[in-house]
Amino acid sequence: MSTPDSEAPETFGEQFLDDYFAECDEHIAAVRRHLLALDQQVGEGRIDNALLDELFRSFHTIKGISGMVGFREEEQLAHRIEDTLRAVRQGDLPLNMDSIDGLIESVALLDRRLSARRSKAPLPELPGEEPAAGLSTNSAAAAIGADPLLTFSIEFTPTLALAERGININSLRARMQEIGEILKSTPKVKGQGEISFQFQVRTHVDLMAVPEWNSHGLQTKPDTVVLPDIQRPAPKIASSNVVRVDLVRLDELIRMVGEMVTSRARMEDQVRQARKILPSVEWRTMFESTQTMARQLRDLRDGVMRVRMVQVGEIFDRMQFVVRDMARESGKRIIVNVVGQETEIDKFLIERLMDPLLHLVRNAVSHGLERPDERRSAGKSPEGRLTLRATTTGENVTIEIADDGRGIDLERVAERARAMGLLGPGTPMDNARLLEVICYAGLSTRAEADRESGRGVGMDVVKNTVEALTGTLTLSTERHKGSRFCIELPLTLAMADVLIVAVRGQTYAVPQSTVREVFEVDPSAVRAIEHNEIIAHRGGALPLFRLSEFFNLPGPKQSPNGRFHVFVTGTGTNALGIAVDRIVGQQEIVVRTIGDSLVQVPGIAGATDLGDEKVVLILDVPALRRSALHERMTSPGNQQ
Amino acid sequence: MLRPLAKTAHVLVVDDSPTMRRMIVTALRGLGSVKFSEAGSGLEALERMTLTPIDLMILDLNMPEMHGIEVLQFVRAHNTYSRLPVVVLTTRGDETSRSEASASGATDYMTKPFQAGELLQLVRNLLPENKES
């Protein structure tokens, strides 16, 4: 127990730096969202004062906590922004594109400084002068265009009994915000000094018809009084119900759950062996217990995973900023559609995806979308559309970046690819090969890499990042119609469902997210064309890739009749059949990456333990595909 | 002067920033056996007060929904709480709020960023058990 009076080696504020950065991040994310909304409102000529209040409060908080941790410059920067906002709120400063630009710049600077503080990097310079601003009066007609919805007065009297059941101001407020808008909230003193709270709520829901609104300490009645002025709506996020957890602690938790998964698999194995020595009734009960435990463990795993999930909305907001700036610089007009921003994804994945997504967005704006005049003459609307979409499908999440621009010129890319020897002379270009080619490092020439998309990561990095996260990147493009990039990822990386496969007596694990289909093949079905083997499958030719050859595994095949198993990865012309001797089963595993670069083997992504204390290697399916596809693309006439 | 308090006092910390609340609670750990409650908004603060008796309130001013000054005015107008010690924390450079706070009945105030030791000292002196000493 140390007391703050005593001399401590670190300053008082320093022990809160983690909280400080986390809270600043939250405020800056909210600020971005609000500035975007404000930017749009300026365009429409109406300004919601509640947004200004929210902004003001965020900077006020940043100012306060920056001072506490001893970051004087950040404190002053936040203070200056606060001043600007105060001037806007009081009508001393007009809110227009310029002043919003100024605010956005200041926020970006603050964000950069905070990142630098966090990583202990050199700090970006602060500007010396106040954010510039012209003067005129702000129209006070900023009231929200009011639809006469139903208005109710709700009175809530808190009691300990209600609080114990989770019914309190915060839960109530959240419920009210779900159904409508809180217009007013005032505390009242009743007869014996009892305190109650009076809310005025505007909603589409007829609360009188819902019994819950007239029980549990609530008294609701319709409000017939026409409101003279509309008060600001309440903030959308009740932050006091949120607990912050260090990601390291969560990882630790996941590791522990992972170990339990492994121990349980081992136990199940032992129980199976005990079948020989136990009476069957007793054995069955025991076996059923292991099955129940498997289910519960899966629930526990899912629960822990869910804690790591964050909404993609925040990075979509960042993208909108990038688009806005680029559009302004290039004179393009762009409407950004954001779909599925509430989709959740592992925090670890989202951090790694940031740069690839930014690159795809920059590409779409600088190469995909045309200028208004060009669009008009192509018979399109002058505003280009950029869609950012996130969806989940069970175990996977898909992030899509689509534009309705000019699309990619297949022939031009094919020409360059042939010239560079990336594409065989007779091989036709399609969407899947196009992606391989444009993701080939060093393909884009200096002339093509302009300022926007040329900096930072390239397409090769985008593809490698996605694949390193065991995801897949696909592209579809149509001339004059637009392009669409899709990133499909597992919801989380720490644990995976795998197929266990055997090749020449060796056992490997294959992440199920990369496997489309599994089937058995008779050796007579295999045809050889040039150096490649193919099999007829679903009306097409599926190229075959033998794992035994890739890893140079000696020894005889396992099956006496020569039949073997194939799992299919990829779709369409990008599909590849990977041949193994036998698929042994499926299992849930904990993924451990092989960290030592000296033992990194092409085609191996990591290692796991199946519960029998033997290490099993996890196949790096994207790397296998790359290797197979490279052979195929260059194969006619070329030796491998 | 620095001896721990005999009875468990209850301090309510009201601030919309969770980081600031943690800082305040940490700064006040030296009070000894004191129970802390936290509230992230003015309304939540008033709810907390009605549910459990409190001995002292640390109050931030700029908060959503109900400004700290409104909380203070409400508390002062209420019979039970009219004499409750309320320490208002104002942010540096906001002198108008400070005078407004003292006009509304703040027992004492301190400017953020504050020194942990100073806040501790101030609160220690305001807690009822220490009034006489």
Mean local confidence (pLDDT), A10-26: 85
Spans of all domains in chain B:
9-128
Q: What is the pLDDT of residue B80?
A: 86
B chain contacts of residue A15, beta-carbon cutoff 8 Å: 26
Of A73-77, A142-146, A262-266, A475-479, the range with the lowest mean pLDDT is A142-146
Q: Which fold has domain A150-234?
A: Alpha-Beta Plaits (3.30.70)
Residue B45 — very low, low, confident or very high, per pLDDT cuts 50/70/90?
A: very high
A1 and B CB contact within 8 Å: yes
Distances (CA, A) of A35 to A29, A85, A315, B12, B129: 10, 11, 15, 34, 49
**pLDDT surpasses 60 at A146:** no
Q: What is the pLDDT of residue A311?
A: 85
Under CATH, which architecture does the B9-128 domain have?
3-Layer(aba) Sandwich (3.40)
Closest approach of chain B CAs to the CA of A85, in angstroms? 14
A63 and B CB contact within 8 Å: yes
**pLDDT surpasses 90 at A567:** yes
Q: Which fold has domain A310-490?
A: Heat Shock Protein 90 (3.30.565)
At B17-42, the pLDDT tens digits run 999 999 999 999 888 888 999 999 99
The number of C-beta contacts closer than 8 angstroms across A and B is 126
Tell me how crowded residue A5 is: count the other CB atoms within 10 A of its CB.
Answer: 12
Name the H helices within A141-239.
Answer: 160-164, 169-179
At A81-113, the pLDDT tens digits run 888 888 888 888 888 878 888 888 888 889 888
Entry pTM: 0.52
Are the beta carbons of B46 and A195 separated by less than 8 Å? yes
Max Cα distance, chain B (Å): 39
Are the beta carbons of A187 and B46 separated by less than 8 Å? yes
Q: What is the pLDDT of residue A253?
A: 84
Residue A454 — very low, low, confident or very high, per pLDDT cuts 50/70/90?
A: very low
Are the beta carbons of B113 and A168 separated by less than 8 Å? no
Q: Is the peptide bond before B113 cis (omega within 30 degrees of 0)?
A: yes
Of A205-209, A277-281, B66-70, B117-121, the range with the lowest mean pLDDT is A205-209
**pLDDT surpasses 70 at A496:** yes
β-bridge pairing A195-203 and A540-546: unpaired
**pLDDT surpasses 60 at A225:** no
**pLDDT surpasses 70 at A168:** yes
Q: What is the pLDDT of residue A147?
A: 39
Share of chain A above pLDDT 90, in %: 10
Tell me how crowded residue A257 is: count the other CB atoms within 10 A of its CB.
Answer: 21
Interface of A with B in 98-127 (CB under 8 A): none
Q: What is the pLDDT of residue A237?
A: 40
Are the beta carbons of A65 and B20 separated by less than 8 Å? yes
Mean local confidence (pLDDT), A466-478: 85
3-class secondary structure, A146: coil
The domain A495-633 is classified under which CATH number: 3.40.605.10, 1.10.287.3510, 3.40.50.300, 2.40.50.180?
Answer: 2.40.50.180
Chain B nearest-CA residue for A54: B64
**pLDDT surpasses 60 at A438:** yes
DSSP A405: S
Closest approach of chain A CAs to the CA of B132, in angstroms? 22
Q: What is the pLDDT of residue B27?
A: 92
The CATH number of the structural domain formed by A13-119 is 1.20.120.160
Residue A217 — very low, low, confident or very high, per pLDDT cuts 50/70/90?
A: confident
β-bridge pairing B34-39 and B9-14: parallel
Q: What is the pLDDT of residue A143?
A: 31
Interface of A with B in 160-219 (CB under 8 A): 160, 163, 168-170, 173, 185, 187, 189, 193-195, 197
Of A479-483, B4-8, B12-16, B64-68, the range with the lowest mean pLDDT is B4-8
Tell me the pLDDT of chain A averaged across its residues.
78
Tokens 């506490």 map to which residue? A68
Q: What is the pLDDT of residue A269?
A: 82
Are the beta carbons of B19 and A23 separated by less than 8 Å? yes
Nearest-angstrom CA–CA distance, B133 and B131:
6
**Closest by Cα among A451, A427, A447 to A437:** A427
Q: ∠ CA(A114), CA(A117), CA(A120), 5° rounding?
A: 150
Mean local confidence (pLDDT), A402-425: 84
Q: A236's torsion region: left (phi>0), alpha (psi -120 to 50) or beta?
A: alpha
